[in-house]
Chain A
Amino acid sequence: MTERPSRRGRRFPVGSYLAAVVFAVPFLLPFYLLLRNSLMTQAELGALEWHWWPEKISFTGFTDAFDNSTVPLGRALLNSALVAVISAPVSTLLASMTGYAVARIRVAAARPVFVLVVATMMVPGAATFVPTFVVVGSMGGVNTLWGLIVPGLFNALAVLLFRGFYLRFPQEIEDAGRIDGLGHLGVYLRLALPNSAGLLAALGVLSFIEHWNSFLWPLVIGQDPAFWTVQVAMSTNLTSQAINLPALFASAVISVIPLALVFLAAQRYIVRGIMATGIKG
């Protein structure tokens, strides 16, 4: 047995690399077009000939995007930022709190509350936007920031995941905390919560992306331009009659860049979050 095949003994998979490169092209092409178009002029975008790159790089798209008075892009970006920056941590924390309580606090209500929460997962979120609109509308939530944000803060799936995590949280650590004089809240805040930082980050980043990109609910609830998110603002331009294409592509670039950075920086957490949500979902 002298010829034990080393781990690198097998052939270098040339075919696989070739296939991966070929497949990568259609995945990257739209990003390239997005960037290219944002730097072109309207005339060049409507040209008869395909151009790999603008003849002269133009930034008028970026200035035009902010100059449009009917579609206030700056305000829309601010609204989107507020929605995502508030929703991601708050919704994740609320789910963590509930998940901990139903997993570790033994009161008679734990089981019924858990069932009440999980039962809502049977109802698909987007399909019920009309009833949600009716309730939020009756509370005066149309064209308000809270109407935009609050209905999206209650994530039953995240509760389920946090409950699973806290069920596996070692009893010894909880007991040690108790001996040190911590109550239920103390154990949660000082011990359980810090220990779940990984899951908090994973679900928090996913939630951030979801809220930044969400479209249907902001479209329904933000009817006044002052409450448009960046997605609604872009959609308004995209579906209008006269379109300033470079400006539209420029605003798309501006809306994608912060998210792409978050995405690349936090990919580890995103993958972990998707694995957690997808497999149980």
Chain B
Amino acid sequence: MSLRTGRPGTSAGPVTGPAPAAPRRRRVDWPAWRAFILLTAPLVVGLVVFKYVAMGWGLLLSFSNARGTIALGDWAGLANYRALLDDPRFRTSLSMIVVFTLVIVPLTFAIALGLAVLVNRLRRGRALFRTTFFLPAAVSYVVASLIWKMSLFSGVPSSAANSLAALFGQEPTAWIATVDPPLYWVVLITVRLWLQIGLYMILFLAGMQEIPGELYEAARVDGAAGEWRLFRHITFPLLRNTSVAVTLLLVIASFQAFDEFYNLLSTGLAGAPGPDGRPPLVYLYDVSLVQQDYGVGSAGAFVVTLLIVVVTLVQGRLVGLGRKDGE
């Protein structure tokens, strides 16, 4: 029992005997502190300024009248939040993004998982196909919007979509310019699918590498052959952690959609897309950068942030995140 050496700070020390007044007792390790501060200060200062101060200032601004100014002091109580929630354009943007999320998340999930299974079955040329499905991840939303708006789904008869439709005897369609029928949804959904599927396919592929091959062999010996049954009883259940992560990432990304909506549906830098196709971030851009109402803009930032945090937490709770910690 090394009571004395092991616990130099206990009150038992002085009583039990003439212990040498522990010289290392709570000595501040200055070299360690110096190294710690040198290593962490740049990032910590940056986060404090650009996250904590920004959020604090934004919170105060959201309770201020701040049209054309970012100065505090002209308090407005909850007026900005009330104005925001009373604005039908903001409410439309919220319901719009919920619908968008409900469509894009399952679609991306299913196609990414399907492609991962497919690529995993290939023996030769696996890398080639993986790269093919993954390559769009190198393209920006702006460039993809350009291709979608001006070539794939442009209104001219020679666009890819209209040329394809012509093969089936269809007349050329204005894909983006019409609200009725809302064909712009096809454009919005496909462009995001193209850009993000590859990334989530990689995540699923990574998850599949963790599944021991013996499980499949054992199942085959037991006569549980059939690719679908193997997928349903082995692959999919064992991808649970990956599936949870993918769903969370997809939802967070969807709620923050901005780039493709702005570039596909707006008609000018200051112009904003119509109310039907405007997600919250485009609305906030319009309010704060175009109309320069930083009070309402900040209030909107907090409403959207709160929404994302709540959805993430609820979703995490629903799927039992943390019940089985991976690491």
A binding-site residues for B, Cβ under 8 Å = 8, 12-13, 16-17, 19-20, 23-24, 26-31, 33-34, 37, 45-51, 94-95, 97-98, 100-102, 105-107, 109-110, 113, 116-117, 120, 122-138, 150-151, 153-154, 156, 159, 164, 183-185, 188, 209, 212-213, 215-216, 219-220, 231, 234-236, 238-241, 243, 245, 248-249, 252, 255-256, 259-260, 262-264, 267, 270-271, 274-275, 278-281
Contacts and interface: CB of A to CB of B under 8 A. Distances in A.
The range of chain B's interface size is 35 or more
Given A255-B140, A279-B206, A28 B54 contact: no
A124 B302 CA distance: 10
8 contacts: A12-B123, A17-B122, A30-B136, A130-B301, A134-B61, A138-B70, A239-B262, A263-B137
Contacts of A45: 156, 158
B2 interface: no
A20 B309 CA distance: 37
Contacts of A37: 150-151
B225 to A, nearest CB: 11
B314 interface: no
A130 B40 contact: no
Interface in B146-185: 146-152, 156-158, 160, 163
Interface in B256-313: 256, 258-259, 262-263, 266-269, 271, 280-281, 284-285, 288-289, 294, 297-298, 300-301, 304-305, 308-309
Contacts of A151: 50
Contacts of B70: 134, 137-138
A116 B36 contact: no
A116 B46 CA distance: 12
A75 to B, nearest CB: 17
B138 A209 contact: yes
Given A116-B47, A135-B53, A135-B57, A127 B304 contact: yes
Contacts, number: 304
B131 A264 contact: yes
B263 A238 contact: yes
A159 B252 contact: no
A213 to B, nearest CB: 4
A183 B308 CA distance: 43
Given A279-B203, A279-B242, A24 B132 contact: yes
A259 B138 CA distance: 6
B51 A126 contact: no
A63 B185 CA distance: 35
Contact of A256 (B38, B138, B305): B138
A238 B149 contact: yes
B57 A113 contact: no
Contacts of A212: 140
B136 A94 contact: no
Contact of A24 (B32, B129, B144): B129
Contacts of A234: 142-143, 146
A122 B203 contact: no
B6 interface: no
B140 A263 contact: no
B145 interface: yes
Contacts of B242: 279
Contacts of A12: 123
Contacts of A29: 152, 160
Interface stretch (B9-17, B86-94, B113-121, B230-238): B113-121
B186 interface: no
A105 B146 contact: no
B135 interface: yes
Interface in B41-88: 42-44, 46-55, 57-59, 61, 70
In the complex, the 4 A-B pairs of residues with the closest C-beta atoms, listed nearest first: A131-B58, A184-B35, A213-B140, A101-B39
A267 B131 contact: yes
Given A20-B118, A231-B140, A122 B194 contact: no
B31 A183 contact: yes
Contact of A136 (B29, B50, B326): B50
Given A98-B44, A134-B298, A156-B47, A49 B141 contact: no
Contacts of B157: 48-49
A248 B202 contact: no
Given A131-B55, A154-B43, A213-B140, 6 more contacts: A30-B136, A94-B43, A101-B39, A133-B288, A135-B49, A234-B146
